[in-house]
Amino acid sequence: MSKTILITGAAGFLGSHLCDRFIVEGFRILGMDNFITGDKDNIQHLFDHPNFHFIEHDVTVHIDIKEPIDYILHFASPASPIDYLKIPIQTLKVGSLGTHNLLGLAKAKNARILIASTSEVYGDPLVHPQSENYFGNVNSIGPRGVYDEAKRFQEAITMAYHRFHGLETRIARIFNTYGPRMRLNDGRVIPAFMGQALRGENLSVFGKGTQTRSFCYVDDLIEGIYRLLFSDYSNPVNLGNPDEITIIEFADEILKLTNSNQKIIFKSLPEDDPLKRQPDITLAKKLLNWTPQISRAEGMKLTFNYFQNLSKEKLTKIDHKDFSKHIKQ
């Protein structure tokens, strides 16, 4: 019989790709989302699949599932600054109450659980590149602290369940990831630049553009998560592409890729925005035999094609999502 896996945040960017991967692998999927940032279009193609069952639910509220569950992937959370700055309390709740609920469910079902952590646990790092043994440099009371600290708490309670209850846990520290199904106007640099280029707008670079990022194509990340889930390692593992680039260099790449004549304009740097971001993936290479396979040039072409094929309405619409109907603060 097929194994059953619960995927929270199933209608999100990463969650929807995980649903696709585990369907291909023959799993029965329970996809859970409350659509606070997720998009039903991302999983619409799965609704008629016999191995996919969708549950609309907020993970911060008690989760009651009667049937057996073998694995849980906890990917429910706002993940972009534009979202978690608008809904800071819900962001904290999904990382704390939501994670607590899912760990309790995993314990009750004797299921293995993998949580989606983030490179943001490193804050604005004083160590470069960032390895798993670096404890980070985070401003807990800054505007980004709601996301950073939610994820740090998420890691802490996960390890507590592992040590105290003997729960099988896995922690993926995910670095910048991109690809199809990103929300065009979610505030992250790749969809922001591509949306601006496609709309004929100038590209907005924050600060001087000397800050760095390292971008991993979504297919590579999904492969890393898959391997981590079935590994025997419970401590955090960095998953990302160590190919580092400055934002100003990246803006130039986008202009060339999109064949745009727009200019680059500079805006003030947001508070606590990390100046460096590059994963040390030595552990993932050794433990999972995993390294990213898709170059930035190839991945950007695939992503650009996705955004280029969006309807004109979606391309021109600025996504000021109304969170109010989803939120219980």
**Predicted confidence (pLDDT) per residue in 149-175, tens digit:** 999 999 999 999 999 999 999 999 999
Q: How many CA atoms lie within 13 A of 252 on its CB side?
A: 6
327 has pLDDT over 70: no
Strand blocks (E) in the chain = 4-8, 28-33, 52-56, 71-74, 112-118, 169-174, 177-178, 203-206, 212-214, 216-217, 236-239, 244-246, 264-267
104 has pLDDT over 70: yes
Higher pLDDT, 314 or 165: 165
At residue 220, the pLDDT reads 98
At residue 317, the pLDDT reads 56
Determine the average pLDDT of the residues in 41-56: 97
Which of 6-15, 21-30, 153-162, 182-191 is predicted with the least confidence, judged by mean pLDDT? 182-191
Higher pLDDT, 104 or 311: 104
Give Cα separations from 110 to 70, 104, 107 (angstroms). 7, 10, 5
Token pair recorded at residue 222: 């999904």
* Confidence band of 3 (pLDDT split at 50, 70, 90): very high
9 closest CA partner among 71, 56, 61: 56
Contact 262, 201 (CB under 8 A): yes
Reduced to 3 states, what is the DSSP secondary structure of residue 233? Answer: coil
Higher pLDDT, 312 or 53: 53
Reduced to 3 states, what is the DSSP secondary structure of residue 29? Answer: strand
At residue 81, the pLDDT reads 85
pLDDT of 112-139, one tens digit each?
Answer: 999 999 999 999 999 999 999 999 999 9
303 has pLDDT over 90: yes
Active site residues: 147
The angle formed by the CA atoms of residues 137, 222 and 15, to the nearest 5 degrees, is 85
The angle formed by the CA atoms of residues 2, 29 and 5, to the nearest 5 degrees, is 75
At residue 316, the pLDDT reads 62
Higher pLDDT, 116 or 183: 116
Rounded Cα–Cα distance for residues 98 and 92 (Å): 9
33 closest CA partner among 66, 60, 64, 55: 55
pLDDT of 227-254, one tens digit each?
Answer: 999 999 999 999 999 999 999 999 999 9
At residue 328, the pLDDT reads 46
312 has pLDDT over 70: no
Query: What is the radius of gyration, based on Cα positions, of the chain?
Result: 19
Rounded Cα–Cα distance for residues 222 and 61 (Å): 27
313 has pLDDT over 60: no
Higher pLDDT, 126 or 326: 126
The angle formed by the CA atoms of residues 140, 146 and 150, to the nearest 5 degrees, is 95
329 has pLDDT over 50: no
321 has pLDDT over 70: no
At residue 184, the pLDDT reads 82
Task: Return the domain boundaries, the chain.
Answer: 4-326
At residue 319, the pLDDT reads 53
* Confidence band of 275 (pLDDT split at 50, 70, 90): confident
Rounded Cα–Cα distance for residues 200 and 125 (Å): 35
Q: Specify the fold of 4-326.
A: Rossmann fold (3.40.50)
* Percent of the chain residues topping a pLDDT of 70: 94
Contact 303, 195 (CB under 8 A): no
Q: What's the full length of the chain, in residues?
A: 329
Determine the average pLDDT of the residues in 98-102: 98
* Confidence band of 1 (pLDDT split at 50, 70, 90): low
Across-strand partners of 71?
A: 5, 112
pLDDT of 195-213, one tens digit each?
Answer: 899 889 999 999 999 999 9
